[in-house]
Chains A and B, each alone.
Chain A
Amino acid sequence: MISPGKKLRAQAAIIDALILLLVSIAASMLIFNFVGTWGEDQDQVLRSAYVLNYMQSVSKALYYVDSSTLSEIKSDELDVYEKALTATGFETNPQYDLSSPDYGCNQLKDYPGTLRVTDLMKRDLADSDPEVGVKPTLDDQFGNARVPGRTAVRCALKELMKPFAFSGYKYYFEAILSQDAGSISGGTPEALVHYFGPEITNSKDAEIVGVETSSGSTIKQTNGKGTVVPGCFSAVDKGLQILAVSSPFQVLYSDTSGGTLDSKFIKYKTRICIWQSREDV
């Protein structure tokens, strides 16, 4: 005779097997979850190391590339290198056009020989002493003389940043007073050198870059929304994840207004920041 206990033992075996199956499925799911995320952090660090090394190479190349070799660069009909961003969208403006014979890269052919991109930019920044007067602007001017330092960097970065620009990344190049540059609080938004006209960027996000309001003569003190200074500070303020590379950038300032030559080095730094963007989507 079969006792009720024996009947129950057979049922217990199948329940044990089902529980084993459930545990096995749960364990497999945990393993899949672990394997799916394994190595992601290392991969992210190595990718960031590549981007940072690329941007450091860009910064270094600017010190060696001669301005005259960039004279054939054109806007390639891209709005960010050709038109001015206004509150209502892009507007034609020759001062923003890298293909313009007067304002574009073509003017760099007038600076032959070994005059580097950074030499022109230093000249652009060397027309005032920020510790006693107003900060200079990146405006292609040394006093009243035309010195296309900003345009030279714009032309160089348009080419040098191409691999990232065509992969959905946006960049912004800025000059900022260094931490130890006298009384001005370096590294803060107040230490940022402002642009007068075109900025060195491929972004068209008005929350990050400044907007033009008066035909190429606007000092870009805030972004298009008027909230923060434009550039990397605005990108951070917007919550974007940026990668930035800074380089020391000394500028020789000379003053002869007192009858004697008074020269000193002013410590700036240049900064390139880059972020992934969905602006073009």
Chain B
Amino acid sequence: MKKLKGYIGPLGDDIPSIFPIVFAVLIFTGTIIYANQLISSKAKQLEIREGAVSLSYLVTETGFTKAETLEKACDEKVKPRAASLSVKYLITLKRFCDGIPIDFKSTASELNPYTPETEKTSTFYIDKSTLAGETWTWCSNDLEIPASGLFEQPKDSVLMSFPVAVPCPDFDSFTNGLGVVNVVAWK
């Protein structure tokens, strides 16, 4: 009986083909798992963005707002809408009577006219104040928001800012100046 060189046996001959098969299965299943995670992550981001847009329509219905008006809108409209969208939110109203800051950390007057209290111009500064540049009022449905200070921006949150007219130069003035409503949404 002639024995061919390299012949291992009926199964042994198929052993080399196992490696590409295993490799192919691993690549395919890995891709499916990765794609599933990526789509879930993107879908979550889209839901958050959609939530932020929906909530922003409610707080920018009119071009003028005051602290009481925003608080009423938050209680009556924003809170139920956010519950139906399953998003958490933080909405802050700022009076920027001396101009809108671009960088709340900057001390350059053209980037932030409210020096040296620059931190208080941040969207995430929680303390309420009637001074220009600071947070006039805020509302949220997240119980973990601190009572004061700078709230750390949640991961994967979406921030949208909108201009509104607010009483200026003082919070009880009859004249109106520049202000901003910030809407932050996350899950």
A residues contacting B by CB (< 8 A) are: 1-2, 6-7, 9-10, 13-14, 16-18, 20-21, 23-25, 27-28, 31-32, 34-35, 38-39, 42-43, 46-47, 49-50, 53-54, 56-66, 68-70, 72-74, 76-77, 112-114, 156, 159-160, 162-163, 166
When chains A and B are docked, how far (Å) is the Cα of A64 from the Cα of B13?
Answer: 84
How many chain B residues touch A (CB < 8 A): the figure is 59
B12-41 CB mask vs A (1 if < 8 Å, else 0) is: 011011111101110110011011001100
When the two chains form the complex, which single residue of B14, B110, B160 contacts A50, counting CB atoms closer than 8 Å? B160
When the two chains form the complex, which single residue of A7, A17, A57, A166 contacts B63, counting CB atoms closer than 8 Å? A57
When chains A and B are docked, how far (Å) is the Cα of A92 from the Cα of B96?
Answer: 30
Question: Do most interface residues of chain A lie in helix, strand or loop, or is the interface mixed?
Answer: helix
B27 touches A57 (CB 8 A): no
When chains A and B are docked, how far (Å) is the Cα of A175 from the Cα of B4?
Answer: 91
**Known contacts A1-B2, A64-B176; is-contact A49 B162 (Cβ 8 Å):** no
CB neighbours of B3 from chain A (8 A): 2
Q: Which of B46-54, B72-80, B139-147 contacts A (4 or more CB under 8 A)?
A: B46-54
When chains A and B are docked, how far (Å) is the Cα of A63 from the Cα of B165?
Answer: 9
A31 touches B60 (CB 8 A): no
**Known contacts A32-B35, A57-B164, A69-B169; is-contact A21 B175 (Cβ 8 Å):** no
When the two chains form the complex, which single residue of B23, B99, B163 contacts A54, counting CB atoms closer than 8 Å? B163
When the two chains form the complex, which single residue of B7, B19, B35 contacts A35, counting CB atoms closer than 8 Å? B35
A57 touches B25 (CB 8 A): no
CB neighbours of A160 from chain B (8 A): 100, 163, 178
Instruction: Name which residue of chain B comes closest to A74, CB basis.
Output: B110
- In chain B, positions 125-172 with a C-beta closer than 8 Å to chain A are 160-165, 168-169
When chains A and B are docked, how far (Å) is the Cα of A197 from the Cα of B89?
Answer: 45
When chains A and B are docked, how far (Å) is the Cα of A113 from the Cα of B52?
Answer: 35
B164 touches A16 (CB 8 A): no
A64 touches B63 (CB 8 A): yes
CB neighbours of A9 from chain B (8 A): 13
A50 touches B53 (CB 8 A): yes
A-B pairs with the 4 shortest C-beta distances?
Answer: A60-B63, A10-B13, A64-B165, A69-B177
A17 touches B21 (CB 8 A): yes
**Known contacts A14-B16, A57-B164; is-contact A21 B24 (Cβ 8 Å):** yes
B2 touches A57 (CB 8 A): no
When the two chains form the complex, which single residue of A14, A38, A49 contacts B20, counting CB atoms closer than 8 Å? A14
When the two chains form the complex, which single residue of B53, B98, B162 contacts A46, counting CB atoms closer than 8 Å? B53
CB neighbours of A42 from chain B (8 A): 46
When the two chains form the complex, which single residue of A10, A49, A50, A60 contacts B62, counting CB atoms closer than 8 Å? A60
CB neighbours of B42 from chain A (8 A): 38-39
B20 touches A159 (CB 8 A): no
